[in-house]
Amino acid sequence: MCADQRTSGPGSCQDADLICRDGIRLKSTVWRPPGEGPWPALVMRQPYGRAIASSVTLAHPQWWAAQGYLVIVQDVRGQGESEGEFRGFAQEAADTADTLAWVRCRPDCNGRIGLYGFSYQGFSQLVGDSSVPPPDCLAPAMTGLDERDHWSCEGGAHWWHLGLGWGLQLAALQAARRGDAEAWDTIRSALETGSYLREGRALLAQHDRQGMAHRWLSEDPKERQRWAIHSPAPGWLARPMLLIGGWWDPHLRGVLDLQARSLAAGGEPELHIGPATHLQWWPEVQELHRRFFKRHLIDADPHPTPHQQVHLWDQRLERWGDGVADRAEGGCWELWGNALSSHDPRVGQLRIVAARPTSPPATPVVIVHDPWRPVPAVGGHLSASSGRCDRRSLDARNDVVTFTSPPLESRHRLRGRPELELIAWADQPGFDLCAALSVCPAGSDAVEQLSTGVSRRLGAAALEAQNQRLELQALEAELQPGDRLRLSLAGAAWPAIAINPGHTEHPCGPPSSHCRIITITIRSDSARLRFLPLIPAPSR
């Protein structure tokens, strides 16, 4: 059922209501192409107010309508002008199914439907239930299905800056919806001044206790069974799918998991990973979407011409190449160092395992983490300054230990998910290891960061010398002759990751009087850096 209310002017559109199976009314805005229909439909379901229509990253619906599509952007349940209570991901399967059934019955739709959008809008298009047939094609960007690994945690630690920031944005939207201007102003002020890094948990508890972000930050990342992994209805993952990821986007793991799930379901997904943060993409993304939807919704060729499925942007060469996602490249590297590795960048060494060591036996490497001046996070996929960065000033700190290779004699490709395996322990029952992999370009003093990752240990086991693995963000980079590869390790990446207090009596959070100085010891002779295939085994 729908009731339309017409608006006028340039780019005119209509509002339309959908009554869900439980009686809740969902509000949409509909843009129609010029001329007579019916047309194929593009549908986006999002929580931020449908007037935005993901225009921060994707072309406005008015442009899509001019391309020949009926465009429908909907406020999800409990957000914008839609009725009901907002309960996050769990509500979306039934509402997505109801929306698809409603769109197919509209006289201005020819029955062909594509879903598009990124982040939350990417998730909402993946989880329609089995009560309706799947869409003809999907374009989920920068999203995932695992609430822990794709949305809120990494290496046993919560995303701090991102988790609080996104949660408070949703909390502010809820405050505006109920007319609570004071709560909205309080939240906005905390985000503008940066005080949310200290007050964010309390603000979420006060203003959005039932929200996803508050729930996620309250769960233990180590308790896998308490975290939801959502599963699309059978057949959805086998539909034509355009996947967009960014090397500096926190949801890249989710996009790679979707690629693996689609392949396992018999699909042929088209994957592009480019020079993008979550909100800043490369310009050609619009053309990728245009060609994809034209192929599957307008041309609708049942036997389309085969085309390259994986496209990877090289972070070192700054150009596109065709990727082989099921094979890792980069080799296996070993570390060598001693107590001076955090003071003199010439001491710590990184070298291919096949190379014969010429240095004396390694001795333990020590990192002293002082919570009064924690090592900050820069660039990468989790920090407030996400993206490319030169981290030479960070590597010059004496609480950062570096391991650098000799100049390379030939080109060397790095492709996949870097994994660091080492033996480490601390003098306190809790510590973090925060890693960065960088290239030191030939003829330059720059340290160009390629990838970052974190591993957290809490409890008495942190006092014992134990093997641990740290997976970094996936990457693609072809190093050139004369380049050097560098691995940097620190005890913090604030505020991307909350400070580990060094014990379990107080939670991880901002620096406080409860945080202890932590001495971390690493057996560098035990450490190995290797590369796993870009596409992991799909989550279950």
pTM to 2 decimal places: 0.95
Tokens coding 166 = 């996104």
Collect all residues with Cβ–Cβ distance below 8 Å to 202 and sequence separation of at least 6: none
User: Residue 504 CB: number of other CB atoms within 10 A?
Assistant: 13
Strand partners, 153: 158
- pLDDT under 70 in the chain at which residues? 1-11, 301-308, 323, 325, 355-362, 538-540
Tokens coding 514 = 């409860």
CA distance linking residue 130 with residue 234, whole number of Å: 7
Exposure class string for 244-255: b at 16+ Cβ within 10 A, else e: bbbbbbbbbbbb
What is the 3 state secondary structure string of 457-471? Answer: EECHHHHCCEEEEEE
Q: Which residue in 239, 300, 243 sits closest to 273, CA to CA?
A: 243
What string of DSSP letters covers 136-196? SEEEEES--SBTTTTTTEETTEEBSHHHHHHHHHHHHHHHHHTT-HHHHHHHHHHHHHSTH
What string of DSSP letters covers 302-315? SSPPP---EEEEET
Half-sphere exposure in the Cβ direction for 515 (13 Å, CA): 19
Contact yes or no for 520/403 (Cβ under 8 A): no
* Max Cα distance, the chain (Å): 79
CA distance linking residue 18 with residue 2, whole number of Å: 5
Contact yes or no for 58/117 (Cβ under 8 A): yes
CA-based torsion, 470, 118, 75, 184: positive or negative: positive
Which domains occur in the chain, in start order?
5-145+232-307 (3.40.50.1820), 153-226 (no CATH), 333-532 (2.60.120.260)
Contact yes or no for 42/64 (Cβ under 8 A): yes
